Amino acid sequence: MSSRVLVTGGAGFIGSHLVDRLACDGHDVAVLDNLSTGRRENLADAGNRVDFIEGDIRDLEAVRSAAEGVDVVFHQAALPSVPRSIQAPADSHAVNATGTLNVLIAARDAGVRRVIYASSSSVYGDSPELPKREGMATAPLSPYAVSKLTAELYCRVFTHVYALETVALRYFNVFGPRQDPNSAYAAVIPKFAGVLIEGGVPRIDGDGEQTRSFAFVQDVVDANVRAATAEGAPGESFNIAGTERISINELDRTLRDLVPNASTEPAVHGDPRPGDVRHSYADLSKARDLLGYDARTPFNEGLRKTVEWLSAR
């Protein structure tokens, strides 16, 4: 059944893919985005099926207006990046924590049925225990991680106190087309691929043996759609990740195989990043059981699609 839905940060990387899916599924889609990192061209595929609202989640009245008549809010808007949060912790808190509180207040007051919140695997910190399970103690290592966990806790409280259904999805290193390779805070896959496409060599922070569970963006979109209707999901947090554990050195090697005429010079290694997590690997049992989620896109297939998109830009 179609309904009106709101995607905050809907002009961004993940948000725009989610908008495409929701519009394709027949929903009336509103997007709230301040275009600080999002781009209007990311919404080109959705065309006139989207009601675009330029506004900021730090502005409660703007969020209230956008939430009117909405059934589900997909809250993707955030100020990403661990390094950026270390440089400007107040900015991360204002957007990620206070901004999310504004979304929850507006959703509660507008009678929204459910809010799907984009949380982060960074909330686990650097515990040596693998795989990461939702019931583990959280131990954030950066202001970004603190802000995402704070917002997640607000979600649970709003479910408990106000009976607003909320679901937190803890994303593990999402990648895919539309992810900006040129930002100073670019994620590792578009950053490395962009450098290799231009004939350069990647710079790896640390020894490169740190590992990640990369999640292809279309699988993350599927998790959001499932979370909007899953019966046992409200008040819960879920890991959303790939099934493979990939080291950064392995990522470098795989990208070189996919990028035509990539340099054969070895990557340059630098110091580890402050606040970075050594190993990140997800247990997906809870998401499988309650959401019906699984990572259906093999890592190499998702990587190939990403390289193709970056090469065509």
Condensed to tens digits (0 to 9), the pLDDT of residues 157-192 reads 999 999 999 999 999 999 999 999 988 777 999 999
Are residues 87 and 81 in contact, defined by beta-carbon separation less than 8 angstroms? no
**Which pLDDT belongs to residue 28?**
96
Residue 23 pLDDT level (bands cut at 50, 70, 90):
very high
Sign of CA dihedral 97, 93, 183, 174: negative
Residue 277 pLDDT level (bands cut at 50, 70, 90):
confident
Work out the burial of residue 243: count CB atoms within 10 Å of its CB; fewer than 13 is exposed, 13-18 middle, 19 or more buried.
Answer: middle
Structure tokens at 97: 């924590």
124 is an active site residue: no
**Which pLDDT belongs to residue 183?**
80
Tell me the H-state helices in the chain. Answer: 13-24, 60-67, 82-87, 89-92, 99-110, 143-162, 188-197, 217-227, 248-258, 285-291, 299-312
Number of CB atoms found within 10 A of residue 84's CB: 18
Residue 143 pLDDT level (bands cut at 50, 70, 90):
very high
Tell me the H-state helices in 140-203. Answer: 143-162, 188-197
**Which pLDDT belongs to residue 158?**
98
Quick: pLDDT tens for 196-240. 999 999 999 999 999 999 999 999 999 999 999 999 999 999 999
Residue 83 has pLDDT above 80, yes or no: yes
Report the alpha-carbon distance of residue 140 to residue 100 in Å, rounded. 18
Q: Closest Cα partner for 231 from 171, 283, 170, 165? A: 165
Residue 1 has pLDDT above 70, yes or no: no
Residue 178's Cβ-side half-sphere holds a number of Cα atoms within 13 Å equal to 23
Residue 112 has pLDDT above 70, yes or no: yes
Residue 91 has pLDDT above 80, yes or no: yes
Across residues 18-36, what is the average pLDDT?
A: 97
For the chain, percent of residues with pLDDT exceeding 90: 91
Quick: pLDDT tens for 126-137. 888 999 999 999
Residue 275 has pLDDT above 90, yes or no: no
Which of the following is catalytic: 117, 144, 154, 281? 144
Residue 120 has pLDDT above 70, yes or no: yes
Burial 188-210 (b: 16+ CB within 10 A, else e): bbbbbbbbbbeeebbebbeebeb
**Which pLDDT belongs to residue 258?**
96
**Which pLDDT belongs to residue 251?**
97
**Which pLDDT belongs to residue 126?**
87
| List of domains in the chain | 4-173+217-243+278-297 (3.40.50.720)
**Which pLDDT belongs to residue 71?**
98
